[in-house]
Structure 1
Amino acid sequence: MYDQTLPEVVPTIDAELYHDEPLPAYTELDGRINIDLDSKIARTLASFVPEPPAYAPPENFSKPQISRRSWKIRLNIVIQVVGSRGDVQPFVALGQELQSYGHRVRIATHDCFASFVGGSNLEFFPIGGDPHDLMAYMVKNPGLIPSMSSLREGDVQRKRAMVEQMLSGCWKSCIEPAAGESRPFVADAIIANPPSFAHIHCAQALGIPLHLMFTMPWTSTRHFPHPLANLNGAKLDAGAMNYVSYTIVEWMTWQGLGDVVNSFRSSIDLERINTTVGPNLAEMLQIPFTYCWSPALVPKPADWPGHIDVCGFFFREPPQYSPPADIHRFLQSGPRPIYIGFGSIVLKDPSAMTRLILAAVRMSGTRAIISKGWSKLGSDLNPAEIDTANILFIDDCPHEWLFQHVSVVVHHGGAGTTACGLRTACPTIIVPFFGDQSFWGSMVAAAGAGAHPMHHKLLTADKLCDAIRFCLQPTVISSVQKIAATMSAEYGVQTAAQSFHSNLPLESLHCELLDDRPATYLYSIRGNRIRLCTVAAHILVQGGRLKSKDLKLYHSKPFNITNERWDPLTGLSSSGLSTIKGIVTATGDMLASPYTAVQQAGPSDSAAKTTSKAAANFGKSFGKFSGRFLQGAVVDLPLAVADGLRSVPKLYGEDVQSHGEVTDAASGFMVGGRGFLQGMTDGVSGLVSKPMQGLKEEGALGFAKGTGKGVLGFATKTSSAAIGIVAYPGQGITKSLIAPFRSTTRKSVMAQRAAEGEHMARTEGLEHLDVLRRFDALMLHGGSSGTDATSASPYIV
């Protein structure tokens, strides 16, 4: 329904699948990180790569068809986007489509896009961060490893500070009204691109659905490596290494930003997560993912599960545009020009790039429209250097309109610009700078729709001239016209909206009194639970049917994040490093806090008052130090060992039973007791059952293998059980003790929900008596509407 699938699992991108010409080799300049396939860490991670799953659905399988007419529930949707205008623009198109379903849509992105988003009739919320600085940093540091100059000049710290600002801004976008907006806003669902980072954590804190959408591969697959990974070596299975490249890239990203993310999680009352879990949250939690590219270029890999869709590029409705006189005159004065522009890329030497472009255009005998972009190409040139009969420099101009009037497009390889060029049947030349731009350049070349990508550091006037001439060949023009015809039959934005709706928890999303509203509260009475929306809850409180204290926040999509341990060694080392880091940080605070009090002392403060503040600060810091030390020694380290020992059987293919989730002291004792019984029983019985099972399957050799598994299982399972009977209750007690101090976020969300309910009750003209009657009728039937099992049907055709 949503995608085409690759016919078989292949180890790398198969050039023959797209074109009879081999894919160009990636260079080390394109922003990808080198991964040594023969390194110990690569081989270790590869050992955890699962066998290719069989995701072929039955022939009659289809996702629910959601139509605008049948969809009832009106959601507050926040779309969090980090990146350039090319990253934001597809989500503007999506936001407009979602509005047609009746949703209230907010785009949360950088401040500089306020007018662009607002002009599209969408709500805007600023999250901070400067995309100009971000693009300049990425051009300077195209891979994940920063250069020495960036370290010396403080670029890394500035980037980390920018990420901190954007994380905070993303959270505020979920629960605060926009500046000048009187209507309260609390998100009922989040759509985000992965680089916004805050998405999963905001969704977990609110307990609401999350849907990721992106223009480059971000999900592990055996079919091709991560676009930011450059694989070296050949001793391991290529498909496995393609798969593991995603884990390595995510792991390296987490090393640079994991502490920033965990600090953000603490600020919204979430537990910290460790390195074994943090980098791979989206896949571990099976977050729905929609990829915004055409399957005509990159079909959906067969090893991607059903909650991942490839739906086509996102295109907005072509804007109403009348070209200024200089563009109109230039287009009319000669043959179709080529287009050259690098959009939001910030070049180090724009003058040199401009002269290179002019030389290439002159050598190729073509005319060119050159977009100045963020680098202001052409601004430093002497007017005498510009052949105005054949060259026109322009400011911003809609690509949807302009590309219909040019013969070839030359650009940096942003997914949106690439899509627009292909859709308008323009042969394409990509000059990548960083990120996924080389990936798209290779895909275009493999499809026969343009020249091989040429990294900007390797670009010369001769190479660009040759590429322009290549793109003007009839065979290339014919290839790109075929792709354009296929893309014209795709409806990326509409299909993405379908994907979003069909992945929502339809059975439990709606209010049981007003089925066109999302449930936000849970009211429990006599063992029954009723889902209520904000406005219904407000009316019921005002009508005296219930009290505010009886309401709890309802999580339509709860997230359970557990710190997964692969084995006792990695579990202990990971927990140990985290504990040591926490102790070191607490020690630094303890030593610095008295000095901070002295620095903050005012001129009128007495020495005794300053000393008292210093002592108080020291006491608080010492308390944090003691707490971190005790938690690490008494809870975290034993828990890591117990979890690691429980996971050992996974290493030789045995399933490990779940022992439940620890949420408080009571569940901690239950999990500890259950784990003890399971561990002791399985450990002892395995001494007999494993050898017998092996004998039955493989004879004498199987008996020997089974004996080894039985002995190892006995040692690990019984040890885990013995340690866990203390560790899990300790974890539960710790959570119970901490819970009262982690209520700030919950109270804040409750306050915003209450304000939202009051505003809706006052402004939306609902019949309050009707809501009260519905509630009374529901109470007469035992407090349950009985609609859970069929609640999806009103929204599905």
Structure 2
Amino acid sequence: MSNKEGLSDDSERCAPPVYQLEDPMILVPSSGDTGVTNDGRIDIDLHSNLTRSIVRWASKAERGSKQYRPSRRLTVHRPWTIRLNIVIQIVGSRGDVQPFIALGQELQKYGHRVRLATHNVFESFVQESGLEFYAIGGDPKELMAYMVKNPGLIPNMKSLRQGDIQRKRSIIAEMLRGFWAACIEDHFVADAIIANPPSFAHVHCAQALGIPLHLMFTMPWSSTAAFPHPLANFKAGKISPEVINFASYGIVEWLTWQGLGDIINTWRHELDLEPIPLTVGPVLLEQLKIPFTYCWSPALVPKPQDWGEHIDVCGFFFRDPPHYNPPEDIEAFLKAGPPPVYIGFGSIVIDDPAKMTSIILEAVKICHVRAIISRGWSNLGEGLQEIPEDVLFIGDCPHEWLFQHVSAVVHHGGAGTAACGLRNGCPTAIVPFFGDQPFWGEMVAAAGAGPPPMPQKTLDSKTLVNAISFCLQPEAMTAAQEISSQMATESGVQAAVQSFHANLPNTMLQCDILPYHVASWEYRKLPIKLSKMAAQILIDNSVLTQSDLKTYNTQPIFITNPRWDPVTSTSSAYIGWVQDITSSSTGIIRAPISELRRSNVEGASGGETAGRMAAASAKKFGRFNMTVLKGLGVDIPYACAEGFRAVPKIYGEEVKDYGEVKDWSSGFVVAGKNFAYGITDGVTGLWTKPYEEGKSEGALGVAKGVGKGVLGFGSKVASAGLGLVAYPGQGICKSIRHVAKSHTRKVVKAHRFREGEKLAQNVSEDDVLAVLSGFKRAQDEKVHQMIRRSSST
């Protein structure tokens, strides 16, 4: 449909443009559930066991998601005064980094300190924009070359541990550590994290620090029935397209976790975080309802109806146009004739640049158009002996400036380049290589502003001629101009900052003494929240010591393993327990052997070697015993209790939430509530369920009610009994682990104190007096509140 047709009626704007799968008949390899196509998408066989299971889940989830009725744009706008340390974590090319530079600059206007953590090669690009930079490692050029050679974020399972893919896994492990360091190093401890999803470290860093997380991205990453995941491709089937679309997100996430879950859990171990179960990793972000902002124009892709309130579509992110004086050759070429067509593939590393250059030059010649060709990372046009008069090869040039002077754009389909072209009213032809590029090609084509995308593997001069000719038609120009006029009314960066602020826990963040500062500490004797600077001033003036303070988490993240029924939950826990036992038992043998080898290398004496081997074996034997006891006494009963507690969900009853088991005290609280409510609800349900169902369905309803009552009685009483042991046991284990795994917390505390010391170095006398008097006032207020509460009870 054209843009005009899609946006003329306000109600129709809620529906995204139709997204057709490029090749729904592609067959998957017979050896597995998935394969990777030439355009980087994943072939998914809808008849495989895995996908059938996920589709069944998606069918229920998709029906449940229809209860949302979100607005297209943000509805929450509030002033913001608290100044935060914000880390922006980005993986990708220059086109991925550039929108977040615009975001960082806008965040700075609110007084936030913004650090952009990304690849080393973008250091000058970030710093010249006035933002702090932190290098996380990983060469984007190498990543881009890998993606072109082996397109798709999800390689096949066999290739995961071979050659290039093993190298990619090593790069990701390096970047995970880099992202964590960016959160705590150099007198900077993050108070909030903004990230694009492929950075992968985001939610784990946020959990370790107990701070808010907000994801932002230029391609769909949240389950929706409106369109499939941009990286998914399907074999034809009879399943509802809406269900298939919804399921595609879970399938892609599952495959991603298969390839990276072990790397992430190894790194989480370094951060003293518990491993994430296989069944939780793929759904973690959606389970936690992490706020999400999508950086594209709702004029091009409106917000789907089944996305909740924590998801916003804000518009493309545009930075302030850079001051740019064009080189003489560009300026002269633009003045020498009609507006040219722009052709360029930016950060893409093409296998055969010479062949691509030949295709482009032949198409330009046949179309009788003038063209500006960007050399890009592939260095198109290198070694040409003769360049046509109507063609100019250029190096780096800001698209914001250049696209004002061209008639159409042909590019790889990066979201930022597509946005810039459409913002300037340029019809757009997309040659996708991998990732979300086919998606943006389809979206532009659906809006009538360009031809269908042309996968680079099949691109030839004839195809490119047809694409350029399409872009120069009046209809395409009109559609592009209409999108441009819609985008002119949007302020994507400003709306994204509003979205970020709207999802922050304002009251949790604020320091009780300095309201413009974020709380990092809590006074142990009274519930007073203190910022790093306020705490350091109180320490410097001998009002408090460091031991008087405990770490304050502004937004704790608790990751749980949701259970569906007692059979699957218990069997899953049992399988995990067997795996842990196997790992622990092999460690009893492997650990002494490792110590023997180490001792031989170090030249240790026989007695010392024997002692080391005995100690290593004893340590692993102790861990083996703990694994056996914890599995039998805690993990399996806990999973079984949770499974029985979840049974009423099967017949549509809402299950009470008794809170998280965080430590030994909350474990006993949850056990008590589960026992009291479980017994009461189980017994009363024996007659309330038949009565309620009978009122609506008569005799048949009574029969249904009897069945629900009996099933509910059995499951709730069973959960109540098991929970008396399971929930306290789980809480005790977490308390023990909290004490034993304290290294990361100590590191974070040390870095917070260091930042506080630096902040307090340049405070004025008035600031000191304000903090001292404010702390005394806060103490008095808290004491009076406690007195009032005790007297009222």
User: TM-score if structure 1 supplies the norm length?
Assistant: 0.90
Aligned residue type for 2:570: L
Q: In structure 1, what is the equivalent of residue 3 of structure 2?
A: none
CA distance in structure 2 between the partners assigned to 1:59 and 1:167 by the alignment: 34
Q: In structure 1, what is the equivalent of residue 778 of structure 2?
A: 778
Q: In structure 1, what is the equivalent of residue 680 of structure 2?
A: 681
Q: In structure 1, what is the equivalent of residue 522 of structure 2?
A: 522
Residue 225 of structure 2 corresponds to residue 222 of structure 1: yes
Q: In structure 2, what is the equivalent of residue 416 of structure 1?
A: 416
CA distance in structure 2 between the partners assigned to 1:85 and 1:762 by the alignment: 37
Out of 367, 370, 374, the residue aligned to residue 373 of structure 2 is: 370
Please report how far the alpha carbon of residue 587 of structure 1 lies from its aligned counterpart in structure 2 after TM superposition: 4.1
CA distance in structure 2 between the partners assigned to 1:637 and 1:148 by the alignment: 30
**Secondary structure of the residue that 2:81 maps to in structure 1?**
coil
CA distance in structure 2 between the partners assigned to 1:151 and 1:503 by the alignment: 37
Q: In structure 2, what is the equivalent of residue 30 of structure 1?
A: 39
1:102-181 residue pairs with structure 2 within 5 A?
102-147=111-156, 150-151=159-160, 153-177=162-186
Aligned residue type for 1:463: T
Please report how far the alpha carbon of residue 756 of structure 1 lies from its aligned counterpart in structure 2 after TM superposition: 1.3
Please report how far the alpha carbon of residue 458 of structure 1 lies from its aligned counterpart in structure 2 after TM superposition: 1.5
1:240-251 residue pairs with structure 2 within 5 A?
240-251=243-254
Aligned residue type for 1:769: L
Report if the CA contact (8 A) 2:74-2:495 is conserved. Answer: no
Please report how far the alpha carbon of residue 61 of structure 1 lies from its aligned counterpart in structure 2 after TM superposition: 9.6
**Secondary structure of the residue that 1:51 maps to in structure 2?**
helix
Report if the CA contact (8 A) 1:34-1:231 is conserved. Answer: yes
Structure 2, unaligned stretches of length 5 or more?
Answer: 1-6, 27-36, 787-793
**Secondary structure of the residue that 1:563 maps to in structure 2?**
coil
When residues 540 and 641 of structure 1 are mapped into structure 2, their CA distance, relative to the original with a 3 A threshold, is same
**Secondary structure of the residue that 1:108 maps to in structure 2?**
strand
Q: In structure 2, what is the equivalent of residue 288 of structure 1?
A: 291
Report if the CA contact (8 A) 1:144-1:252 is conserved. Answer: no
Q: In structure 2, what is the equivalent of residue 568 of structure 1?
A: 566
Please report how far the alpha carbon of residue 153 of structure 1 lies from its aligned counterpart in structure 2 after TM superposition: 4.0
Q: What per-residue deviation string (whole Å, max 9, x for no partner) do you get for residues 645-694 of structure 1?
A: 21121122111112222122232233223322333332333232222222
Report if the CA contact (8 A) 2:366-2:465 is conserved. Answer: yes
1:455-494 residue pairs with structure 2 within 5 A?
455-494=455-494
Farther off after superposition, 608-617 or 430-439: 608-617
Q: In structure 2, what is the equivalent of residue 72 of structure 1?
A: 81
Farther off after superposition, 576-585 or 679-688: 576-585
When residues 420 and 222 of structure 1 are mapped into structure 2, their CA distance, relative to the original with a 3 A threshold, is same
Q: What per-residue deviation string (whole Å, max 9, x for no partner) do you get for residues 719-746 of structure 1?
A: 2223222222221221122221111111
Report if the CA contact (8 A) 2:346-2:377 is conserved. Answer: yes
CA distance in structure 2 between the partners assigned to 1:633 and 1:160 by the alignment: 35
Report if the CA contact (8 A) 2:315-2:492 is conserved. Answer: yes
Q: In structure 2, what is the equivalent of residue 387 of structure 1?
A: 387
**Secondary structure of the residue that 2:668 maps to in structure 1?**
helix
Q: In structure 2, what is the equivalent of residue 578 of structure 1?
A: 576
Q: What per-residue deviation string (whole Å, max 9, x for no partner) do you get for residues 607-630 of structure 1?
A: 332333233333333333333343
Please report how far the alpha carbon of residue 701 of structure 1 lies from its aligned counterpart in structure 2 after TM superposition: 2.0
Q: In structure 2, what is the equivalent of residue 298 of structure 1?
A: 301
Please report how far the alpha carbon of residue 531 of structure 1 lies from its aligned counterpart in structure 2 after TM superposition: 1.0
**Secondary structure of the residue that 2:407 maps to in structure 1?**
coil
Please report how far the alpha carbon of residue 430 of structure 1 lies from its aligned counterpart in structure 2 after TM superposition: 0.6
Please report how far the alpha carbon of residue 13 of structure 1 lies from its aligned counterpart in structure 2 after TM superposition: 5.3
Please report how far the alpha carbon of residue 156 of structure 1 lies from its aligned counterpart in structure 2 after TM superposition: 2.4
Q: In structure 1, what is the equivalent of residue 255 of structure 2?
A: 252
Out of 349, 353, 363, the residue aligned to residue 350 of structure 1 is: 353
CA distance in structure 1 between the partners assigned to 2:286 and 2:278 by the alignment: 15
Q: What per-residue deviation string (whole Å, max 9, x for no partner) do you get for residues 196-239 of structure 1?
A: 11111111221211111111111122222222222444433332
**Secondary structure of the residue that 2:393 maps to in structure 1?**
strand
When residues 547 and 151 of structure 1 are mapped into structure 2, their CA distance, relative to the original with a 3 A threshold, is closer
Farther off after superposition, 120-129 or 673-682: 673-682
Residue 95 of structure 2 corresponds to residue 86 of structure 1: yes
Report if the CA contact (8 A) 1:6-1:300 is conserved. Answer: no
1:194-343 residue pairs with structure 2 within 5 A?
194-343=197-346
When residues 351 and 577 of structure 1 are mapped into structure 2, their CA distance, relative to the original with a 3 A threshold, is farther
Q: In structure 1, what is the equivalent of residue 29 of structure 2?
A: none
Please report how far the alpha carbon of residue 406 of structure 1 lies from its aligned counterpart in structure 2 after TM superposition: 1.9
CA distance in structure 2 between the partners assigned to 1:121 and 1:425 by the alignment: 30
Residue 43 of structure 2 corresponds to residue 45 of structure 1: no
Report if the CA contact (8 A) 1:6-1:302 is conserved. Answer: no
Report if the CA contact (8 A) 1:36-1:42 is conserved. Answer: no
When residues 144 and 588 of structure 1 are mapped into structure 2, their CA distance, relative to the original with a 3 A threshold, is farther
Please report how far the alpha carbon of residue 35 of structure 1 lies from its aligned counterpart in structure 2 after TM superposition: 3.4
Report if the CA contact (8 A) 1:675-1:724 is conserved. Answer: yes
**Secondary structure of the residue that 2:121 maps to in structure 1?**
helix
CA distance in structure 2 between the partners assigned to 1:62 and 1:164 by the alignment: 39
Out of 189, 193, 205, the residue aligned to residue 190 of structure 1 is: 193
Please report how far the alpha carbon of residue 306 of structure 1 lies from its aligned counterpart in structure 2 after TM superposition: 2.0
Report if the CA contact (8 A) 1:403-1:424 is conserved. Answer: yes
Report if the CA contact (8 A) 2:16-2:303 is conserved. Answer: no
When residues 106 and 546 of structure 1 are mapped into structure 2, their CA distance, relative to the original with a 3 A threshold, is same
When residues 593 and 771 of structure 1 are mapped into structure 2, their CA distance, relative to the original with a 3 A threshold, is same
Please report how far the alpha carbon of residue 600 of structure 1 lies from its aligned counterpart in structure 2 after TM superposition: 2.7
Please report how far the alpha carbon of residue 248 of structure 1 lies from its aligned counterpart in structure 2 after TM superposition: 1.9
Q: What per-residue deviation string (whole Å, max 9, x for no partner) do you get for residues 110-148 of structure 1?
A: 111111111111100111122122222222333354258
CA distance in structure 2 between the partners assigned to 1:603 and 1:537 by the alignment: 47
Q: In structure 2, what is the equivalent of residue 632 of structure 1?
A: 631
Report if the CA contact (8 A) 1:73-1:516 is conserved. Answer: yes
Q: In structure 2, what is the equivalent of residue 539 of structure 1?
A: 537
CA distance in structure 2 between the partners assigned to 1:146 and 1:56 by the alignment: 36
Q: In structure 1, what is the equivalent of residue 789 of structure 2?
A: none
Q: In structure 2, what is the equivalent of residue 512 of structure 1?
A: 512
When residues 687 and 427 of structure 1 are mapped into structure 2, their CA distance, relative to the original with a 3 A threshold, is same
Report if the CA contact (8 A) 2:641-2:719 is conserved. Answer: yes
Aligned residue type for 2:779: M
When residues 470 and 343 of structure 1 are mapped into structure 2, their CA distance, relative to the original with a 3 A threshold, is same
Please report how far the alpha carbon of residue 492 of structure 1 lies from its aligned counterpart in structure 2 after TM superposition: 0.8
Q: In structure 2, what is the equivalent of residue 790 of structure 1?
A: none
CA distance in structure 1 between the partners assigned to 2:541 and 2:341 by the alignment: 68
CA distance in structure 2 between the partners assigned to 1:304 and 1:708 by the alignment: 35
CA distance in structure 2 between the partners assigned to 1:288 and 1:500 by the alignment: 8
Q: In structure 1, what is the equivalent of residue 697 of structure 2?
A: 698
Q: In structure 1, what is the equivalent of residue 552 of structure 2?
A: 554
CA distance in structure 2 between the partners assigned to 1:139 and 1:747 by the alignment: 43
When residues 541 and 62 of structure 1 are mapped into structure 2, their CA distance, relative to the original with a 3 A threshold, is same
CA distance in structure 1 between the partners assigned to 2:367 and 2:744 by the alignment: 61
CA distance in structure 1 between the partners assigned to 2:55 and 2:388 by the alignment: 58
% identical equivalent positions: 56
When residues 23 and 618 of structure 1 are mapped into structure 2, their CA distance, relative to the original with a 3 A threshold, is closer
How many matched pairs? 762
Residue 75 of structure 2 corresponds to residue 62 of structure 1: yes
Q: In structure 2, what is the equivalent of residue 761 of structure 1?
A: 760
Aligned residue type for 1:205: A
Report if the CA contact (8 A) 1:668-1:730 is conserved. Answer: yes
User: TM-score if structure 2 supplies the norm length?
Assistant: 0.91
Please report how far the alpha carbon of residue 402 of structure 1 lies from its aligned counterpart in structure 2 after TM superposition: 1.6
Q: What per-residue deviation string (whole Å, max 9, x for no partner) do you get for residues 6-36 of structure 1?
A: 84799x9544xx9xxx886567543222334
Farther off after superposition, 315-324 or 584-593: 584-593
Q: In structure 2, what is the equivalent of residue 795 of structure 1?
A: none
CA distance in structure 2 between the partners assigned to 1:373 and 1:8 by the alignment: 39
Report if the CA contact (8 A) 2:135-2:178 is conserved. Answer: yes
CA distance in structure 1 between the partners assigned to 2:639 and 2:425 by the alignment: 56
**Secondary structure of the residue that 1:685 maps to in structure 2?**
helix
Farther off after superposition, 554-563 or 509-518: 554-563
Please report how far the alpha carbon of residue 428 of structure 1 lies from its aligned counterpart in structure 2 after TM superposition: 0.7
**Secondary structure of the residue that 2:669 maps to in structure 1?**
helix
**Secondary structure of the residue that 1:48 maps to in structure 2?**
helix
Please report how far the alpha carbon of residue 151 of structure 1 lies from its aligned counterpart in structure 2 after TM superposition: 4.7
Farther off after superposition, 753-762 or 537-546: 537-546
